[in-house]
Structure formats: structure tokens, C-alpha cells
Chain A
């Protein structure tokens, strides 16, 4: 059988494995695999942060504590201070929670056999909605409801332009919740799909080489495996980058909502 035809037959199985299958329960009550992995990621995040928090010393001695502290400092300096500016300190716990949870769930998904919770759109919608409500809440708290609504249009515009710019800015603000959710979901889902396709290609080509298609097909399979390794390395970068982008965009939105131009 032609390996490419075999691949076309295998791809629906791969797509099916991304569906939110029920681990237990069914219909309206139950738990899908993504929710299960989300809870596992919550537990891992809690364990990592609480163990590091218990062992805090003035001069960090253990490598583990040092690593977690470095992550926290990274959120504080590179995201909080540079994106929010004045009064950034009270937002750091929220941003650090987002960053650590997304980072850990992205990396858990890269372990073969595990599912990434952020590869399901429901979970990224929830995360984006939390971030959206948070920055609107702080915008209204700092400027008041009227002041926050007025601040969509920058000051100093000609009077005719104000309603148009205000409406466009309102639209792009509402769009933020969609882009935050779909960006994280799209990157993680597409990345895992690409990894799956390359793994399938490797196995399909080596299978047909063993069945007697010859050495040429077998050596192509090795090339697919090298591609798979390269994509795996790229996915590690993407996993970190998406956690970073989600957090820094939340920080930027908070900064835009609370700063008084």
C-alpha cells in the first residue's frame, strides 16, 4: 500500500484523539480528558509554588527554589514593571499565577501520552475571560465607569473623529478576549497536530519499508523522524513563548486600562 494513502487513512484517528473524550461520566455530567489534565496541572503548579514558598530564604540555597524565584522575578521585572509601570506590584500575583499555570500546562502537554489543557478552547476561553474581567475591573476601579468609557478615545482628537475612534477602540477591546483565547488554543492545538502528523509519517513509512517497499522508503522515514525532533524543539520554544505572550498581553492590557495617559 502506498504510504501516503495509509497516512490519509490514519489522520482521522489522530484528529479523533484530540476530541474531548470522557474519562468518566457521560452526557451532561462527567469529566473530559482536558479537565482531568487541567486539574493535574493545577496540582503540579500548587506543589511547585508551595514547596518553593516554604523554603524561602534570604540567600536561596537549593536549585529548585532558585528556579521558581527566577520565574517570579521574570514576571515581576520583565512583564510587570516594563508593561504596567507605576503601581505594578499589586498585579504581580495575578500575572504570576497565569504565567506559571499556562507554562506548566504547556510543558505537561509535551510529555508523550499527556494532553495539554491549553489545547482545548474551553479552557483558554476561561483563562482569557478571567484576564478580560480583571483588567476591566481595575480600569473601572481606577478611573470610574464614565472615565473608563471615555478613555477609549485618546484626548486631543477633533470632535468629529471622537465617536468613530471610540467605537473602533471599543471593538478592539472586546476583540481582546477572543484573540487571547484563540491565540493560545491555536498555537498549542496546531503544534500538537504537527507533531502527531510527523510521528504518523515516521511510523507509516517505516511500516511500508519493513513490508518490502525498500531501503529508499526507510531512509525517508529517518528524515521524517529528524523533522519530528526539530518540531519538538520548536514546540518547547512555542510552549514558553505562548505563556509569555499571554501574560505580557494581560499585563499590557492592565497597564492600558489603569494608566492615565
Chain B
């Protein structure tokens, strides 16, 4: 496994853990209940802090590994760039689905099946955070997949 793949694996694991924390904080059963804005602020700041800390820790670990002789070469850089593009593409699609949901809900008067209640602030918050985690997750998975395949 290259350093880039190990970094991606660690980043994916920490991302899943932080997303699990976010989900546990937001979801009750299969629905998202009403929550105070203060709770949303606290959750957002905590998730942001956890994400920054974990990525910084992975960065420090990667620097230690580089001092021990591990490195990322041109193929790793190419794989990371391709994974970045795929992550962005997934984010682009997810945001467009959200836009479609907003337009759908404003066009049709009654709630339609297969639509998210994005007028509900905690739901919108959770969905937007999930899109961020989805983009990050797709990028890390693609680094692992492309690293094995190409």
C-alpha cells in the first residue's frame, strides 16, 4: 500500500466515525426531530473541529512516514487528482438533486413521495453535512480503488 492509499484509508475511517457522531446527534429512529438552533451550531462546530483535528493528525503521521522514506510519486498525484474530480462530480450531482427537491416542493402544493423535507432546518442541515461527507468519502474510496486498479 502506498502512503497515499494509507492516508485515504485513515481519512475514510475517521470520516465514517465523525459522520456516525453527526448521525447519532441528529437522527432519532428514522426521522430527524425538531432541534434547537444552539444544538445545530454546537454539532456543526464539533464536527468541523473533529474533522480538522483528524486531518491534521493524519497530516502529522504522513510527515513522520515521509521522514522514514515513504513518499507520493507522480502516479499517486494523478490518482488523487482523478479522485478529487470524481468527488467534485458527486458533490455537483448531490447539490443538483437538492435544487431539484427545492423546485419540486415549491412547484407542487402537497408533499410528494420521495422528497426530503428540506424546509425543515435540521433536515437541511443534516443533508448538507451528508453531502460534504459523501464527497469526502467518494474521494477517499476512489483513491483506494484507483490505487489498486490503475
Q: Do A and B come from one complex?
A: no
A contact residues vs B (CB 8 Å cutoff): none
